[in-house]
Structure 1
Amino acid sequence: MFIETETTPNPATLKFLPGQQVMTAGTREFTDWEAAEASPLATALFSLGDVTGVFFGTDFVAVTAATGSDWSALKPQVVAVLLDHFVSQTPLFAGGEASDISVPADELLMEDDPQDADIVLQIKDLLETRVRPAVASDGGDIVYRGFSEGVVYLSMHGACAGCPSSTATLKHGIEGLLKHYVPEVREVRAA
């Protein structure tokens, strides 16, 4: 088995491609030890010591290293953990694949106004078809969190969370796209 590695716009995060499916649906992010307990793979990666974040995408694992960590030393350790996991075919989650979730519904910032249903549908469609694939190629994900009074609330995950260019991506890329196709959108904010 061969695991490819790609850089991401976030210098603290590398994207690892095992050449096979990682998640059957959605994405999953682990930002601390407690969250990582849901996944044997995430737990093994956090046990390396310098790992501060793990993100599972459809066909990749993005790993974030602590500030000041040396990727030249950490990268072979991450690859070894990933090889062990995928060769042994260990389940991704302690509770089975039922844990394949993106962001729980209770993490929405607000209930969308039923009068905005068509607008919200357009926003979600653009995010799903145009934005998420691009963000996934950088080792992350973007999640819709709400729409109110012309403002779209989104959260960035994986390599995109904490990336130096995430604000520019939201403001110049995503906001411009949404404003172009959905005139009711005035602004995009990080949630």
Structure 2
Amino acid sequence: METVTIKTTQNPAILKFELSEFIAGSRNFEFKNIDETANSPLAKQLFYLPFVKTVYISGNFIGIEKYSIVEWEDVQDEVAEQIAKFINDGGMIVKQDEETSKKVPSTVYVETTPNPAVMKFVSNRLLSKTTAEFKNIDETAASPLAKELFKFPFVKEVFIDENYISITKYAVAEWSEFTGEVRTFIREYIEAGDPVIDESMIQATPQAEKQKEEYFDNLDSTSQRIINILEEYVKPAVQGDGGNIAFDSYDEKEKRVKVILQGACSGCPSSTFTLKSGIENMLKDMLNDEDIKVEALNA
């Protein structure tokens, strides 16, 4: 049975309805009205909802832009249920026919991060459902794109998460010299439909195992609460800065929380301040325990 997860976006008019499997391959589809939905029975059905303005199908999600006549909080659960029922009843999401499909050109834009050594390259496509960090070219078996990026002599580390790639450079080079070149390379690579990442290989790593539900279910209640706090309050902020924070362990005796910083957060000059003044204080407050300590294994 397919389940649908509702995710907000930076545009309040657009919600993402995520599925557990990829549904569009390397293609993206955009439907502006019901007349364009000949190759997507699901999009056609969604347009029968009077508030649906645009339907996007990409990676593992259906994105819907609404008209302002309703608020998402009033209708989002109903839409999620409708999508799940359609799929579970065997409905076709999209016919990937070359002549009738409408392909959205790939775009990549650049964002600076709090870490001056790291630049964030954001795609309009879903790149990965699993975070992946590559410290050198020898670690890139799971990501052909990361392997290609390491062929640039200034690339030190590569981090991939959802729709963006954070690249750490060596200090000998300046981002102003090659940002445009890297942006163009990533955009053309994605547009060509070349594989970005083999998620099955990433999910087999020890760190990825700790992100799975089975691992979470076997933890003590405090560790579970810590993970939930990090996921809800911390991760969205650090992802916005091109990084990630992953729970490693909690020592109940020492009241010590160990985390792993990735992407732009790894080696960032402000990461220690963020850990102590931000995350540690938040956990102390929300767990009502002033003895809580947070440390990064790779700070």
Question: Normalising to structure 2: TM-score of the pair?
Answer: 0.57
Give the residue type in structure 2 aligned to 1:121. Answer: Q
Contact 1:44–1:81, Cα closer than 8 Å, also in 2? no
Return the offset for 1:107: 8.8
2:206 aligns to what?
104
Range moving further from structure 2, 123-132 or 80-89: 80-89
Q: What is the alpha-carbon root mean square deviation over aligned residues?
A: 2.3
1:16 aligned onto 2:121: yes
Give the residue type in structure 2 aligned to 1:50. Answer: F
1:187 aligned onto 2:289: no
In the TM superposition, 1:2-41 aligns within 5 A as 2-23=107-128, 25-41=129-145
Contact 1:54–1:63, Cα closer than 8 Å, also in 2? yes
Return the offset for 1:26: 2.4
Contact 1:26–1:58, Cα closer than 8 Å, also in 2? yes
Return the offset for 1:100: 4.2
Identity %: 34
Which runs of 5 or more residues in structure 2 are unaligned? Answer: 1-105
Structure 1 runs of 4+ aligned residues shifted over 2 Å read: 99-103, 105-108
Question: Normalising to structure 1: TM-score of the pair?
Answer: 0.88
More helix per residue: 1
Q: Evaluate the alpha carbon distance shift between residue 152 and residue 103 of structure 1 in structure 2; reply closer, same or farther with a 3 A threshold.
A: farther
User: What CA distance in whole angstroms lies between the structure 2 residues aligned with 1:190 and 1:117?
Assistant: 20
Q: Evaluate the alpha carbon distance shift between residue 53 and residue 105 of structure 1 in structure 2; reply closer, same or farther with a 3 A threshold.
A: closer
Return the offset for 1:55: 0.5
Task: Pick one of 155, 162, 176 that aligns with 2:281.
Answer: 176
Give the residue type in structure 2 aligned to 1:104. Answer: P
User: What CA distance in whole angstroms lies between the structure 2 residues aligned with 1:141 and 1:103?
Assistant: 17
Q: Deviations over 1:155-176 (max 9, x none)?
A: 1000100000010111111001
* Corresponding residue SS for 1:68: coil
Task: Pick one of 217, 220, 225 that aligns with 1:117.
Answer: 220
Task: Pick one of 131, 139, 143 that aligns with 2:242.
Answer: 139
The aligned length equals 184
Give the residue type in structure 2 aligned to 1:29. Answer: E
Based on CA coordinates, which of the two structures has the bigger radius of gyration? 2
Higher relative contact order (CA 8 A, sep 6+): 1
Contact 1:10–1:160, Cα closer than 8 Å, also in 2? yes
1:82 aligns to what?
186
Contact 1:41–1:92, Cα closer than 8 Å, also in 2? yes
Contact 1:123–1:178, Cα closer than 8 Å, also in 2? yes
Range moving further from structure 2, 139-148 or 96-105: 96-105
Return the offset for 1:97: 3.2
Contact 2:113–2:120, Cα closer than 8 Å, also in 1? yes
* Corresponding residue SS for 1:21: coil
Q: Evaluate the alpha carbon distance shift between residue 106 and residue 100 of structure 1 in structure 2; reply closer, same or farther with a 3 A threshold.
A: closer
1:48 aligns to what?
152
Return the offset for 1:177: 0.6
User: What CA distance in whole angstroms lies between the structure 2 residues aligned with 1:176 and 1:137?
Assistant: 21
